[in-house]
Structure formats: structure tokens, C-alpha cells
């Protein structure tokens, strides 16, 4: 397998991290570190930071898939750093977004 074909087969977490980082950059956040879903899952002991129920790190679609939640939203001046992020379910994060 060549280097170029390896780079095309990125893990879902790396793709999510890149997408989240790009979205944060577009909203004006300073990007000083790459946030990985698996790392947040370990830090959060596998529990959603919003509802506190277990997060299945292997899901790739639906409301229960893992999502990176910014405790202080980027739109409110929060930064895209580990100290301002937590693992959450995509559905919980979307409900939280509706509140802000």
C-alpha cells in the first residue's frame, strides 16, 4: 500500500476531527490542537458530557453517534481546545445547540 492510498483511508475519527477543526476555524476560533473523539471518550470515561449516558465510540450515524461538544460554544467565544470540549451524543449536542 502506498502512502497516498493510506492517507485516503483515514479513520472516521480523524475525518470528524478535521471537519470539526475546519468548522471551528471558519467561525473564528483559534486552532491550537487537534481534538480526537477517542481521546475525549477516554477523558469522559465513555459517558456523554450532556446526558451522562454511555457513548458508543463505534457508531458512525444517528443521534447516538459520538460528537465533539464545545462547553462554551465557539459562537460565544469558546476555543477549539481539549479544556473546552467533551464527548457527547450527536443528538444531545444538537439539542444543546438549539438552546444557545
**pLDDT tens for each residue of the chain, 100 residues long:** 444 444 445 566 677 777 777 777 777 777 778 899 999 999 999 999 999 999 999 999 999 999 999 999 888 888 889 999 999 999 999 998 767 6
Domain 12-99 CATH assignment equals 1.10.30: yes
Residue 70 CB-half CA count within 13 A? 19
Separation between Cα atoms, residue 76 and residue 35, nearest integer Å:
19
For the entire predicted model, the pTM comes to: 0.70
* Helices and strands per DSSP (H, E), number in the chain: 4, 2
Question: Hey, what's the cell of 43?
Answer: 477523558
Amino acid at each position: 500500500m502506498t502512502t497516498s492510498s493510506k492517507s485516503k483511508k483515514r479513520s472516521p475519527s480523524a475525518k470528524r476531527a478535521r471537519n470539526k477543526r475546519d468548522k471551528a476555524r471558519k467561525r473564528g476560533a483559534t486552532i491550537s490542537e487537534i481534538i480526537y473523539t477517542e481521546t475525549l471518550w477516554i477523558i469522559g470515561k465513555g459517558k456523554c458530557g450532556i446526558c451522562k449516558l454511555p457513548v458508543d465510540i463505534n457508531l458512525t450515524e444517528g443521534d447516538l453517534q459520538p460528537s465533539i461538544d464545545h462547553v462554551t460554544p465557539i459562537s460565544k467565544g469558546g476555543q477549539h481546545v481539549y479544556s473546552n470540549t467533551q464527548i457527547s451524543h450527536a443528538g444531545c449536542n444538537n439539542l444543546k445547540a438549539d438552546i444557545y
